[in-house]
Amino acid sequence: MHVLFIEPSFPYNQRKFVHGLRQIGARITGIGEAPREQLTSDLREALYGYEQVPSVTHKGSLYETVRRIQEREWVDRLEATVEAHILPAAEVRESCSIPGTSTKTAFLCRDKPAMKEVLRDAGVPCARSTGATSAEQVREFAKEVDFPIILKPRDAAGASGTIRAGDADELEHAIRTSGVDRGLPVAVEEFVEGHEGFYDTLCINGNIVHDFACHYFPNVLEAMRERWISPQIITTNRLSDETYNEVKEMGRRVIEVLGIETSATHMEWFFGPKGLKFSEIGCRPPGIGAWDLYCEANEFDLYKDWASAVCHGEVIQSLSRRYCTGIINLRPERDGTISHYERWEEFQQQFPDNIIDYHFPPPGSQTQGVEAGYMANAWIRLRDPNYDRLRELMNMVGEKVRVRVR
């Protein structure tokens, strides 16, 4: 089977999808923006071919490249796993008669107001939302729904670019910051109180064959605003508990309504005083290394099963559900130059079997801002068979291990 894979070298974990395809015997032609000579040696070895393009999100360049490859040989699949690549890949896929996620599905998974309109019509509980291209439209929505509300780009991934407005003054700041007063399109939504998590799947022909659930501590917007917080994401091994039935049923319904067929999915949700509410979904894998947590938690290779699903319409491994796993991000008290770390060696000595891996930029490195996300600066990934025990360990790290700067 010949698979075209978009942007195999960036971000770094893209090569894991390439190696998954290689493991199940696929021939992979990469399409990327970097010159071939800049690819790592292991990636060059894994690829059957490589085509450089000016931009993988430019439909014209991508289409010309795919057609040129098709003139040389048969192409079975065209795959993308990064949010910004999903829609152009779908458009080119349809133009070139290659099976896979449709343009309609890709658009609905990318455009937040359109997505929620379709899902609300199908009975999926969502926060009230609309699309806006002017400040007045935003103000009218705020009058109708009341505060707090949030503004985000229509095609944002996760909380990227999201701004919360709790009153009229904050709303005017959000209007200016978002650019909607200059005509930039935004999604405007009712702010939903409650705990935030995500439900991820691997689907074949619309059927869920693997699924996973994660929890944010605290919710993303708070984590991305407050420097003192060491934010956590934990994936549970309790997905068979009846407490997750409503989340799983919502995920199944959303996949059905949006027409997602053979694909990874990433669905955000909230649960609070108003019950369970759908937030958004992407027909792609999650970011922040979540699939690595799933692999470790279930003692299998999810990248390999994704490749088997895409190429052969089946999965070849089962999930052990043995571990809960999580990542915690450690932030310095202020930006600057990292000088040292406190109490990390002590934790390593106490809990060596719970540590999956970690990243500590060497002393002398410049810090990154809070907005850089969960894998900026230092991070640690942990595991434990017991969810509550893992939460205790993650909290212990957040309270005791420190990044110091000068």
Is 138 within a domain? yes
Determine contact, residues 224/314, Cβ cutoff 8 Å: no
Is 92 exposed, middle or buried (CB count within 10 Å of its CB: 0-12, 13-18, 19+)?
buried
Does 349 lie in the same domain as 232?
A: yes
Is 121 within a domain? no
- 129 token code pair: 């939302």
Instruction: Look up the CATH number of the domain holding residue 248.
Output: 3.30.470.20
Instruction: Look up the CATH number of the domain holding residue 156.
Output: 3.30.1490.20
- 25 token code pair: 């015997």
User: Could you say which residues of the chain have pLDDT below 70?
Assistant: 155-160
Is 15 within a domain? yes
Is 122 within a domain? no
Is 110 within a domain? no
Is 223 within a domain? yes
Pairing of strands 2-6, 77-79: parallel
Domain boundary among 55, 85, 100: 100
Does 179 lie in the same domain as 236?
A: no
Does 199 lie in the same domain as 184?
A: no
| Count of domains for the chain | 3
Domain boundary among 169, 190, 211: 190
Is 115 within a domain? no
Sheet holding 355-359, edge to edge: 275-282, 263-272, 195-204, 207-217, 232-235, 324-330, 378-384, 355-359
Residue with tokens 């130059």: 337
pLDDT for res 271: 96
Q: Residue 165 sits in which domain range?
A: 128-190
pLDDT for res 156: 66
Determine contact, residues 343/393, Cβ cutoff 8 Å: no
| Rounded Cα–Cα distance for residues 142 and 139 (Å) | 5
Domain boundary among 100, 115, 147: 100
Does 315 lie in the same domain as 396?
A: yes
Question: 11 preceded by cis ω (within 30°)?
Answer: yes
Is 32 within a domain? yes
pLDDT for res 394: 97
Determine contact, residues 131/140, Cβ cutoff 8 Å: no
